[in-house]
Structure 1
Amino acid sequence: MAVSSSTEKTLPFPIIADHNRALSIELGMLDPDERDSDGLPLTARCVFVIGPDKKMKLSILYPATTGRNFDELLRAIDSLQLTAQKKVATPVDWKLGDKAMVIPSLSDAEAAALFPNGVTTKEVPSGKNYLRYTQP
Structure 2
Amino acid sequence: MSLRLGDTAPNFQIATTTGDIDFHEWAGDSWVFFFSHPADFTPVCTTEMGRTAQLADQFEARNVKPLGLSTDSVEEHLQWIEDVNATQNTTLKFPIVADKDFKIAELYEMIHPGESETAAVRSVFIIDPKKKIRLTMTYPMSVGRNFTEILRVIDSMQLSDEKRIATPADWVPGNRVIIPPSIKNEEAKDLFPQGWEELRPYLRLTEV
Query: Given the two structures, how large is their TM-score scaled by the length of structure 2?
Result: 0.54
Greater helix proportion:
2
What are the superposed Cα offsets for residues 6-64 of structure 1, whole Å, 9 maximum, x if unpaired?
Answer: 6xx998724323233221122211232334xxxx4421111111111111111111122
Q: Say whether residues 1:5 and 2:7 are aligned partners.
A: no
Give the CA RMSD over aligned residues.
2.2
* Larger radius of gyration between Structure 1 and Structure 2: 1
Q: After the TM superposition, which residues 67-82 of structure 1 pair with which residues of structure 2 at under 5 Å, given as runs?
A: 67-82=144-159
Find the counterpart in structure 1 of residue 134 from structure 2.
Answer: 57
Q: Is the contact between residue 31 and residue 64 of structure 1 (CA under 8 Å) also seen in structure 2?
A: no
User: Does residue 148 of structure 2 align to residue 135 of structure 1?
Assistant: no
Q: How many residues align?
A: 125
Choose 9-18 or 81-90, whichever is displaced more. Answer: 9-18
- Does residue 194 of structure 2 align to residue 117 of structure 1? yes
Residue 111 of structure 1: how far off its partner (Å)? 1.1
Using the alignment, how far apart are the partners of 2:158 and 2:17 within structure 1? Answer: 27
SS of equivalent to 1:66: coil
Q: TM-score, normalising length from structure 1? A: 0.80
| Gap runs ≥5 in structure 1 | 124-128
Task: Quote the offset at 1:109 in angstroms.
Answer: 1.9
Between 1 and 2, higher relative CO (CA 8 Å, sep ≥ 6) is seen in 2
Superposition pairs of residues 31-50 of structure 1, within 5 angstroms: 31-35=112-116, 40-50=117-127
- The 2-side partners of 1:62 and 1:21 are apart by 19
Q: Displaced runs of 4+ in structure 1, greater than 6 A?
A: 9-12
Inter-partner Cα distance in structure 2 for 1:102 and 1:24: 38
Q: Distance in 2 between matches of 1:66 and 1:131?
A: 35
- Structure-2 separation of matches of 1:53 and 1:132: 30
The separation in 2 between residues aligned to 1:67 and 1:94, in whole angstroms, is 22
2:3 counterpart residue number: none
